[in-house]
Amino acid sequence: MVHSNLSALDRLLSQKLRKTMGEAPIRIVVGGTEGKSGSAGKPVATVVIPDRRTLAGLVLNREVTFGEAYSQGRIRIEGDLVKMLEALLRPTRSAADRSWYGKLMSRWLEWVQANTLKGSANNIHRHYDLTAEFYRLWLDSRLVYTCAYFPDESTPLERAQVAKMDYVCRKVQLRPGDSVVEAGCGWGALALHIAKRYGARVRAFNISREQIRLARERAKQEGLTSRVEFIEDDYRNISGRYDVFLSVGMLEHVGRENYEDLGRVIHRTIGDAGRGLLHFIGRNWPHEFSPWIRKRIFPGAYAPALTEAVRIFEPWDFSVVDVENLRWHYAKTLEHWLARFERATKRVTEMYGAEFVRAWRLYLAGSLASFRVGALQLFQVVFAGPNYRQIPWTRAHLYQEESRPAAAEKWTHVTF
């Protein structure tokens, strides 16, 4: 506790805010005057709140008010933004209880951002149809916008994204001649990699027009159009039969009200003899996604608990074969992205303005903090139908150098 010169109302509000923050070692300054400080020693950062209105907003609806005011430059952070967010986002079951206003807002977001066919198209458009030029500024050269896999911590991002794609392919034992369907394909990196390195045929679905356009261009440039097809459509409209179902970083956009449908789609496309992999941001227990992230960054997003995701498979007698939590790999991926983003802020400001830069900084820093403290997890779930008979005897093959993709180059020229 430090000395406070605030008015009685400001003091009350600042106490209430403090209460929602637990023991976080963060200094709060309201309108130039110091409010209550964290009880846990040396603060990692100071939050400068400009006025009573913002302070009251934080009490009523902490995450959204903070996100908006930070983006608009009204709230300033002095010190380490990521460390501050780590202190705030450290999960406790009680932290998941929001104020009545926060709950109301959350329900409202769920309603206006519902993942109907049309709703999903809008939700995806808002995030992924920003120009590829923007994403090129801070993603790897292949534009892989999901958690990378770092064989060791010092692996460069570029190689870690290729390692991730190979890891996914090894996990589903991709073989030449396999047919693969990918639900949510981004700018097509994984589909192209599979067609090129594993000699498999891929049909990849995505409702982001910009991403599909670029993916198709790449397929043409790389001479892969006979083996990879990019389809601008919703996962619910996937048709055809395949050996393998892959979805990397799409489940977060499906919405739990549609998980049953997704299970039906998976079974319809790979039947009882197929196998597949879901790669998604998850939680340790079921609770809603950050309302500010949903409002400004990822409309309609929901990160499921592992139990919720695994339930997708239950009606179809699919077996869960392997689950891996790659939470620390996403933290590392985000370290790379955030550092690259910070180096590109001048250009991003020219493109979208300073408010956009601050909002995206907060999103990237908040995601990094969330993976570090365990508020978010990253799960890869391998599953197989009851009639898939080639589950490998152990998982050792995932970690053997000789099974790595270089050896698969010979498949590049297989034709179908």
Positions that interact with a copy of itself (CB under 8 A)? 90-93, 150-153, 284-286, 305-307, 310-311, 313-315, 317-325, 327-328, 373-374, 377, 379, 386, 391, 393-396, 398-400
CB of 355 to a copy of itself, least distance (A): 34
C-beta closer to a copy of itself: residue 50 or 374? 374
Residues 306, 304: Cα–Cα separation, whole Å = 6
**Looking at beta carbons only, is 152 or 402 nearer to a copy of itself?**
152
The pairing of beta strand 275-282 with beta strand 244-248: parallel
Q: How far is the CB of 194 from a copy of itself (least distance, A)?
A: 22
- Going through 14-158 in order, the beta strands assigned E by DSSP cover 26-30, 33-34, 45-49, 76-79
Q: Which is nearer to a copy of itself, 292 or 313 (CB)?
A: 313
Q: Which two tokens stand for residue 224?
A: 């892969």
Judged by CB, which is closer to a copy of itself: 135, or 371? 371
Q: Which residues of 293-331 are buried (b: 16+ CB within 10 A; e: fewer)?
A: bbbbbbbbbbbbbbebbbebbeebebeebbebebbebbb
Q: CB-side exposure of 387: number of CA atoms within 13 Å?
A: 8
What is the smallest separation between the CB atom of 258 and a copy of itself, expressed in angstroms? 18
Residue 61 or 161 with smaller CB distance to a copy of itself: 161
Q: Token digits for 282?
A: 């998850």
Q: Which is nearer to a copy of itself, 3 or 389 (CB)?
A: 389
- Closest approach, Cβ 380 to a copy of itself, in A, equals 10
| Cα gap 79→44, rounded to integer Å | 6
11 Cβ contact partners less than 8 Å away, ≥ 6 residues apart: 4, 35
Q: Helices then strands (H, E): number in the chain?
A: 16, 11
Q: Whose Cβ is closer to a copy of itself: residue 176's or residue 374's?
A: 374
Q: How far is the CB of 223 from a copy of itself (least distance, A)?
A: 34
CA-based nearest residue to 190, from 233, 122, 142, 229: 142
Could you give phi then psi for residue 67, rounded to 5 degrees?
-60, -45
DSSP bridge pairs for 182: 204, 246
CB of 391 to a copy of itself, least distance (A): 7
CB of 332 to a copy of itself, least distance (A): 9
**Could you give the angle at which helices 345-352 and 327-343 cross, rounded to 10 degrees?**
80
Q: Least distance from C-beta 362 to a copy of itself, angstroms?
A: 23
Three-state SS string over 27-44 comes to: EEEECCEECCCCCCCCCC
Helix (H) or strand (E) holding 117: helix 117-128
SS3 414: coil
Smaller CB separation from a copy of itself, 225 or 319: 319
Nearest residue (CB) to a copy of itself, 285 versus 416: 285
